[in-house]
Structure 1
Amino acid sequence: MENKRLGITSGFAAYFMWGLLGVFWELLSVVPAMDTLAYRIVWSLVTISIVLTVQKSWAEVWHVIVTLIHNRKIGWIILSAFLISINWFLYITMVTHEQATEASLAYYIMPLMNVVVAVMFLHEKLSRSKIIALTLVVIGVIILTIQTGSLPLNTLLMAASFCFYGVIKKQVPLPATISLALETVIVAPIALVYLFLSPHVMTQDGPRITILLIMSGILTVIPLLLFAVANKNTDFITLSFIQYLNPTIQLLMAVFVLHEAFNWHKVIVFAFIWSGILVFIFGSFSSYQKSKKAFKP
């Protein structure tokens, strides 16, 4: 019971922090998005290196690297590093260009995109509730496309990049600290070269922005570690409910803190998305309850 309470508390804390990050990136809007991404990668590596040093886990990291190379799975880690970097870049770009509501929409869509991937690549069957949920979400995306005059590519790419990142994580499960360390090590050289060539200097916008850029690494690592604790101590269905806290907070921050327009067009789009999510949650909960009964002795 104590472990489950710890898992739920950690899950809420992780998703709450992720939800608030939109406001944090908005504070860095004076810095070009690509530079912000590069600083985030570099300072994340510094932060996770300190964590691993405190934990005395470098020997384990080296063992994991050798094992991944031996098992020919290192390519998946390289791909996951680039996928999460794409996701970070899109999110930073959208939030700093007054598209935080569209960014939150991506995280609402993402769980249902996982279902599509499971059907296409893992050959899982769609239940009736999932078909209805996907239909409602597709209608929402179509309406958004008609209203804006173009397909919301950034929103869909954000959802897809994190979706496939999650698929890889399931294929190559690693402890959160080691996973983040490997991913940042892979992309950090590119980030460092970019920062070396970029005309932007970290200190040029004043000490406040400099401190925020350094903090970007800490704010990347902490929620990930909290999520690792939640994932270990919480059942899947509970964590599935908690995950919607992230985009909900993002949406509220976008409307009430960043003052983005949320007109009736967006209300209609989100109404379809939320309806799809409710159907999806209800169907998932029903399936979970049935499976629990089936396995009872």
Structure 2
Amino acid sequence: MENKRLGVSTGLAAYILWGMLGVFWELLHAVPAMDTLAYRIVWSLVTIGIVLTMQRSWRVVWQTILTLTKNRKIGWIVLSSLLISVNWLIYIYMVGHHQATEASLGYYIMPLMNVAVAILFLHEQLSRTKLIAIFFVIIGVVILTVQTGSLPLNTLLMAGSFCFYGLIKKQVQLPATISLTLETLFVAPIAVVYLLLSPHVMTQNGPHITLLLISSGVITVIPLLLFAVATKNTDFITLGFIQYLNPTIQLLMAVFVLHEAFSWHKAVVFAFIWFGILVFIFGSLRSYRKLQQMRPAPQDRKTADEQQTYSKKVVEKV
């Protein structure tokens, strides 16, 4: 019970922080998006470096790199680092250009895009509720395209980049601290070279902006570490509900703090997306309940375990 309480509390903290980050990046609108991304990568590496030094885990990092290179999986980590960098860049750009509502829309779409990717690449079966959910999301995107006169590429790219990033993470599973270290380590040289060539100087917008850029590393690392604790101490279905806090807080921040216009056209789009999400949640709950009902009782589990152990012994004797 204590572990689940810890998982829920850290999950809530992570998603609330992620939801509020739009305001943080909007404060950096005077800094070009590419420069903000580069500073974020560099200071994230510094922050995670301090964490690893305190944990004395640098040896684990190098051993992980050697193992991944030997197993020919290092390329997947490099690709994941590029995808998460693209996701960060698009989000920073959108918030800096007063498109925080569209950014929150991307995070609403993301879980359902994960379903589509699971069908295409992991060959998972599509349930009726998931099909209906995806259908309503597609309607929402079509309405937004018709209203704006163009496909919402930034929204879809942001959702898609994180979606494929998650797909790679499933293929190469690593502890959150090590994974974040490798992802920032691989793109940090590109970020450093860019900053050296960029005409923008970190201190040119005053000490307030400079302090914000330096703190971007901590702002990036803390929610990820909280999320890592949450994933270890709570079940997937609970995290599935909590994840919608992120785009909901983003949307509220965009409207009430950043004062972005929320027209009835956007309300219609979000209505379709929200309905699709409700259908998705309903289907997930129903599947979870069926799974719980199919689980054997404790005594049955013991009997099943004993039978499995006996079978193994028989096979070993043969």
Q: Report the TM-score range of the alignment, normalised by the length of the smaller protein.
A: over 0.9
Distance 2:128 2:44 in 1: 42
Identify the residue that residue 208 of structure 2 maps to in structure 1. 208
2: CA distance between counterparts of 1:200 and 1:272? 42
Whole-angstrom CA distance in 2 between matches of 1:147 and 1:40: 34
* Alpha-carbon offset, residue 231 of structure 1: 0.4
Whole-Å separation in 1 of the counterparts to 2:294 and 2:151: 43
Give how far 1:122 is off.
1.1
Paired AA for residue 220 in structure 1: T
Amino acid in structure 2 at the alignment position of 1:111: P
- Report the Cα distance in structure 2 between the residues aligned to 1:296 and 1:84, rounded to whole angstroms: 41
**Alignment of structure 1 residues 1-297 onto 2, 5 Å:** 1-297=1-297
Read off the aligned partner of 1:23 and give its amino acid letter: V
| Distance in 2 separating the partners of 1:47 and 1:152 | 34
Code of the aligned partner of 1:222 = I
Letter paired with 1:169? K
Deviations 1:119-161 (A, max 9, x none): 1111111111001100000000000000000000000000000
Q: CA deviation at 1:296?
A: 2.7
Amino acid at match of 1:67: T
Where 2:3 maps in the other structure, the secondary structure is helix
Q: Which amino acid aligns with 1:252?
A: L
Question: How much does 1:292 deviate?
Answer: 1.2
In the alignment, the residues of structure 1 paired with residue 296 and residue 45 of structure 2 have an alpha-carbon distance, to the nearest angstrom, of: 45
In 1: Cα distance, 2:63 partner to 2:187 partner: 20
Write the distance in 2 (CA, Å) between the matches of 1:206 and 1:31.
11
Q: Indicate the structure (1 or 2) with the bigger Cα radius of gyration.
A: 2
Letter in 2 for 1:224: L
Instruction: Report the residue type matching 1:8 in the other structure.
Output: V
Q: CA–CA distance in 1 between the matches of 2:97 and 2:15?
A: 23
Equivalent-residue separation in structure 2 for 1:24 and 1:222 (angstroms):
14
Instruction: Report the Cα distance in structure 1 between the residues aligned to 2:126 and 2:167, rounded to whole angstroms.
Output: 18
* Partner SS state of residue 200, structure 1: coil
1:177-198 CA-to-partner distances (Å, cap 9, x unmatched) read 1101101110000000000000
Q: What letter corresponds to residue 276 of structure 2 in structure 1?
A: G
What is the CA deviation profile of residues 3-35 of structure 1, one whole-angstrom value per residue up to 9, with x for unaligned ones?
A: 000000000000000000000000000000000
**Deviation, structure 1 residue 170:** 0.8
What root-mean-square deviation, in Å, do the aligned CA atoms of Structure 1 and Structure 2 show? 0.5
> For this pair of structures, how many residues does the alignment match?
297
State the shift of 1:243 in Å.
Answer: 0.2
Counterpart AA for 1:217: G
Structure 2 distance, partners of 1:49, 1:285, is: 40
CA distance in 2, matches of 1:160, 1:294: 34
